[in-house]
Amino acid sequence: MTKPVKMSLGLVGAFLLVVVGLLSVAAVRDDSAPPPVAVGESRLVRADSHVLGAEGSSDVTFVEFLDFECEGCLAAYPVVEQLREAYAGRVTFVARYFPMPGHFNAERAARAVEAAAQQGQFEAMYQRMYDTQEEWAHQQVPLDDLYRTYADDLGLDMDQYDADYNDPATVERIKADQADGVALGVEGTPMFFIDGEPIQPKSVTDLTEALDAALDD
């Protein structure tokens, strides 16, 4: 049996917002066909999917489809961080882009994170977006310049960052994640999959129990 995971009461309370986020965000409609699945890949985890931290030693995979402008995703963020710590080395945590159409800067934020990923700074920019979300979310003006300051703060090569941020291939990379999500039935964020099974938790315990069960299989 795996060791029980203890979460702070604050995180448990905040996690209730995740359910609100799932219910309040409009569904993405994407009629385009998702990219074909290559050998060794799945619609859940592609060869270019971003792993948070090191890969786990087991076959258990936790996948989150997320939107950096989503309040529910922000509420889930510290929970996922604690899960990563508690299950380090045993579970592989994967982040997939799923910007929602009702969030004006969601795709721009994902482009900034993907541009940082091209310089090996995916996780640093991923964290920066959540750490600052309350400062920039739900504004109806483009925030490209703000995200560029985040990249500069991380010490990125800014010429490369600008090129990657504006590269159509970066948008296509994000849309490929989104198309996979739609094919898997994702309609809102955050959406979690544990070992390929979708889970819409109502509490942190729902996640820990699902992870423990997958590890025990």
Q: What is the pLDDT of residue 24?
A: 40
The 10s digit of each residue's pLDDT in 127-150 is 999 999 999 999 999 999 999 999
Q: What is the pLDDT of residue 38?
A: 75
Q: Are 65 and 182 in contact (CB under 8 A)?
A: no
CA torsion through residues 25, 29, 35, 41, sign: positive
Q: What is the pLDDT of residue 34?
A: 73
Q: What is the pLDDT of residue 14?
A: 54
Q: What is the pLDDT of residue 186?
A: 93
Q: Which helix (H) or strand (E) holds 114?
A: helix 106-117
Task: For the sheet with 61-66, list strands across it.
Answer: 50-52, 92-97, 61-66, 191-194, 197-199
Q: Which residues of the chain have pLDDT under 50?
A: 1-2, 9-10, 20, 23-24
Residue 88 contacts by C-beta under 8 Å, 6 or more apart in sequence? Answer: 53, 54, 56
Q: What is the pLDDT of residue 11?
A: 52
The 10s digit of each residue's pLDDT in 69-79 is 999 999 999 99
Domains in the chain, CATH or no CATH each: 17-34+41-216 (3.40.30.10)
User: Three-state DSSP class for 117?
Assistant: helix
Q: What is the pLDDT of residue 30?
A: 55
Residue recorded with tokens 């989503």:
70
